[in-house]
Amino acid sequence: EVQLVESGGGSVQPGGSLRLSCTVSGFTFSYYWMHWVRQAPGKGLVWVSLIYSDGSGTNYADSVKGRFTISRDNSKNTLYLHMNSLRAEDTAVYYCARDSHYQIDSWGQGTLVTVSS
C-alpha cells in the first residue's frame, strides 16, 4: 500500500523558518518525481514545488521561489520542504504527493503550517 506521511508542521512567527518532511512507503521512492501542494484554510489546492526522482531538478511556484527549497533523501525514503522567510499567506496544510506521468496520483494526509505573530 502506498503511504506518504508528512510531519514538521506547526506554528511559526513571520520571517521564521520550518522544515517539513514526508516519509513514504509501499513504492520505490527513487523512481518517482515528488510534489508539494498546499491548501490555505477554506481555500483550494495550490501547487508549490516539484523535484525529480534523483533530485537533479526542481521547480517552484512563483509565490515561494527563493524562499522554499525542496529536497529528498532517497536512502531514507524522505522528501523535504525547507521554508524560509515565512509569511502569513504561507499558512496552509501542506501535502506531499507522488507524480505519475505529470500528474499527482497519491497524496499524504497533510501537515498544518501556521504563520502568525
Partner 1 sequence: QSALTQPRSVSGSPGQSVTISCTGTSSDIGTYNSVSWYQQYPGKAPKSMISDVTKRPSGVPDRFSGSKSGNTASLTISGLQAEDEADYYCCSYAGSYTWVFGGGTKLTVL
Please report, as ranges, the residues that interact with partner 1 according to CB under 8 A: 35, 37, 44-47, 50, 57, 59, 61-62, 95, 100-110
Residue reference for cell 537533479: 56
Q: Are 82 and 67 in contact (CB under 8 A)?
A: no
Nearer to partner 1, 17 or 40 (CB): 40
Closest separation between CB of residue 47 and partner 1, Å? 4
Closest separation between CB of residue 89 and partner 1, Å? 15
φ, ψ (nearest 5 deg) of residue 68 = -110, 150
Closest separation between CB of residue 111 and partner 1, Å? 11
Residue reference for cell 500528474: 103
d(CA 69, CA 60): 8
Nearer to partner 1, 3 or 28 (CB): 3
Closest separation between CB of residue 80 and partner 1, Å? 18
Which amino acid would we find at residue 8?
G
The helix/strand/coil state of 23 is strand
